Structure 1
């Protein structure tokens, strides 16, 4: 596995020199200053690539070239937006970058109800609390027909918790859900957010999958012509939220994906956190099944709870067996003769980073450094034991 770190550009408090010192050889980044859906110009790509290479690192994966909502909905200027996307692919290939991660999640990227949830050891983690998600939808956002999305027990807990929350706690929850990472969406207000969600009112899972299939049949031939591997990121969390359909969350969804267009360029970002939050997903089995289509790895671990809530655990703890996952990855790497780019995802905020919360939630330096070191040790132990 090639060890990489995500970097959010010059404004990131985690510098390229920090990534170099962590022992990673690759960087995962994007043109975060380019608005969603606009063209990636060659000179802009080269500027970021040069900064990475000047630091002695490689731009291993683009994450992401965001897909405009009009493409996901197949409305208005979606055909023009797809042509822009195709040209962006040609431009990154011209600059020598051949790996692109993307997602097809409606409106939001990954969603959490807590960005700095305190753990027993006083470090902080990302958390998705299903009761607080219901609380947000029912009493803060006031979404129509929300009752059909949750059990009466969850709704009753949400009502009780809402009545106990301070105004500051309510604002914290709203901010956690509506403040996007760079390159996804801008920070949203409730009215704008509701308007964006309303566009999906009559869009079913089948409709959104059809729109994804249409997009892939347009762009994958361009990717293949230019030697680019496209790798879709699973939906996070892997459940429907906010009345929005989620369509990449299970083994059967990934079956559909690879069948939309038969091409080695049509692949998967295997995120063990997103897929691991769904209790029915057998991750080692899925790695073996989709071994020829996995192009990128996000290794992290979540601790699932009984009601559908979860939090980001240490990389070697949590509900997924990271030993079996890494062993499965190393087996397919050996069979394919490749070293897949991997990044330790969503580290805890800890130690000195607790005093400096300017880093994006989940992307502080020390927590990811710990995750990378643990994964590196696990990989070495497996290889030395000759079990692959």
Structure 2
């Protein structure tokens, strides 16, 4: 019996030696030298990546990938420099595929890229002040043929429902209104190609109406698992915010979310991007819980300027008033109409540099 046990023990020991290191062991051979990496980079930076060779293996070459795309191949274990100029803001997942001693293993790290632009503070003057329906929990705000299109949400416990409406901007009175089923929390809206598009918050569903008659044409389902927040358009595509730092591009014909930008300042990610407006080639965006508007580059996501409207919030007199959320650009006067959730006023302002 003892000889039998000894045989088994010896056999297992030899088997373990012959199998060599496990894949998990191999994954520990190499790692990125994260002590050399910053917590955040700017889009004008270059990043130097180097690998720690923890077991002193003989490295033949290293292939680097960023977000799944091959970006470089390096002989041996030389330093690799990654130029961030022109790269998307936000997180970049970096992988190194290491070829060594007739074997291959990968290791990963992640970097965050902010804008290289310091936002400037814009100035403004108030041109006019108009009434606004205090019951309107404003989510979308946009001019169409000199008439305001306003969409609202319906917070829990309130007696009114979500809707989209045409509004007389001078009086704040509703001209025509289409209500949503009470299960929906209405969100942002925009008008393109003679149609009104409206989002809902967490139901993954949107609605399309005829802009003249406001007759509902159809509903559509989001093709990605995102929330609906704000909308605007550049006459070609729709921009759709989802409550994170992302702003998506939505094809108005296929209703597919095709791409996205990440919104950043020079030193931080900006989450909760809300109501949107396209103004002279830029996206003006409310930031939830902030009485300010960010001017966003639609190609990069960089915040180029900020409009501080906290002084306007101070002029809103109803106690139930919540955050600033409503931006409507009037091309004929080159002015911006701004309001907020349950505000009793809408302000017409003119932005100056």
Q: Tell me if both proteins adopt one fold, taking TM over 0.5 as the criterion.
A: no
TM, length-normalised to structure 1: 0.22
Which protein is richer in strand relative to its size?
2
Larger radius of gyration: 2
Determine which structure has greater relative contact order: mean sequence separation of CA pairs < 8 Å that are 6+ residues apart, divided by chain length: 1
TM, length-normalised to structure 2: 0.23
